[in-house]
Structure formats: C-alpha cells, structure tokens
Amino acid sequence: MTKVNPANSSGFVELSEAVPDVILEPRYYFTYNFVGDRIAGYQAPRMFLTRQAAKALRAVSDDVVKQGYRLKVYDAYRPQMAVDNFVAWAENLGDKRMKEYFYPQVDKTRLFADGYIDAKSGHSRGSTLDLMLFDMRTGKEVDMGNVFDHFGVESHPDWCGNPETGKYTGKYKGNKKPKNGQINEVQFKNRMILREAMIRNDFKPLDTEWWHFTLKNEPYPDTYFMFPIQ
C-alpha cells in the first residue's frame, strides 16, 4: 500500500459540494459539545470526507430523500489534533461543564476504560461520519431517543431492540436503570431507518453509537490525517 502523507488533503472533498442535500451542524466548531469549547483543528464551519465516502454518502442522501428525510451531519473528517484535544479534556477530571447534557451517568474517570475516548479515531482516516435524520415534513430533527454524543448504553443500536432484525423489544441489558430509561418503538425505528440506509449504501455501523458509520472499503485504513479544517 502506498504511504500517504497525513498532511495531504488532496483525497478529500467538501461535503456541502459533494452531497448538496445534507444539513451540516459542525458540533466541534461550536461550543455545544461534550467538551464545551471549540475543538482544536476546527477553524471553519466546514466538513470534509474522502472522495469515496462522499460518493457513498450521496447515495445514502438520495435513498433517504425518497423516504421524506434529509441527512444532518454533526462530524465527518476529524483532525488528529482534535482527538488529542479530547484526550487532554478527558484527563482533566475537574472539567465537568457538559456532564449534565452528554454523560449524566458516566463517571469521567471511566471515559478511557469504557471506550468513550481514545488516542486514535476512525474519523481521522476521513471515511467516518456522525449523522442523524431530518424530517422534511415536520421541518424538525427526527426523534432518535437521545442526543448525538450521549455517552451511555442508551446510545447503543441494540438498546431496546435487535438491530439485525429491526425489531423493537423494549428490553435492555444490565440491572442499573439509566437516567432516561428505555426508548420507545418510534425512536428505535427511526434509528433503524438511518442504519439500514447507511448499510444499504456501503457503510458499516458501530455497536456503541447509533449515529456513527464508516465506509466499508475506506481508502486510507492506516492513515490518521492531521490537516486542520480551515
């Protein structure tokens, strides 16, 4: 495999141009995120993906538009410096400004051990993104049961249902009842509409976040890019 310069952005395209129907809300450019600050490397409210991932996302967009939705994207390519910013924040145990909104039942000392924060992110390889659905009929975000970047088991795709069959059960694992409890059948089905559209169009899901997907045959599986978003 040809070695790729992690500072080289030539294999990337701007999401707003490649997939014009998407709605962009770059959470890490703004301060409403689990850290509470603008994140390092997000110097402009723009989003980028590899050409291959953007092409596949265009197919997803066309798919959901036929069902009455648009895609709303929260994050796509993430510079390595942003991941380093997350790590530094996680090590600062005193900073809990956004705990109430994003990790109400997770102890900050557990963020690394439980896999919420890591020194490397698939986003930095350029073919991973975080997104949800926007309902064109109501003009509102679709109710997915909890917020993007909620740290907790309630964000798992198998929460209250079986993502392999798409069937809602109302059941969840574990004895400790989470703050928000179970999600309802409509919320689970909404998660499945997004999941199934992504899988149909060559993305693979993550088993801990309903909003997170990676292109199956990503072009740079071993490169963690460093160029800032500017």
Which of 210, 224, 120, 212 has the alpha carbon at shortest distance from 161? Answer: 210
Q: How far apart are CA 205 and CA 212, in angstroms?
A: 6
What Rg, from alpha-carbon coordinates, does the chain have? 17
Structure tokens at 205: 């899901």
Phi, psi of 27 (to 5 degrees): -60, -35
Cβ atoms of residues 36 and 86 within 8 Å: no
The active-site residue out of 14, 185, 196, 209 is: 209
Our answer to whether residue 164 is catalytic in this structure is: no
Which of 131, 38, 123 has the alpha carbon at shortest distance from 85? Answer: 38
| Burial classification of residue 148, based on how many CB atoms lie within 10 Å of its CB (0-12 exposed, 13-18 middle, 19 or more buried) | buried
Which residue type sits at 3?
Answer: K
- 132 forms beta bridges with 72
Could you identify the residue written with the tokens 């975000």? 141
Could you identify the residue written with the tokens 């141009």? 17
Q: Give catalytic residues, as residue numbers.
A: 209
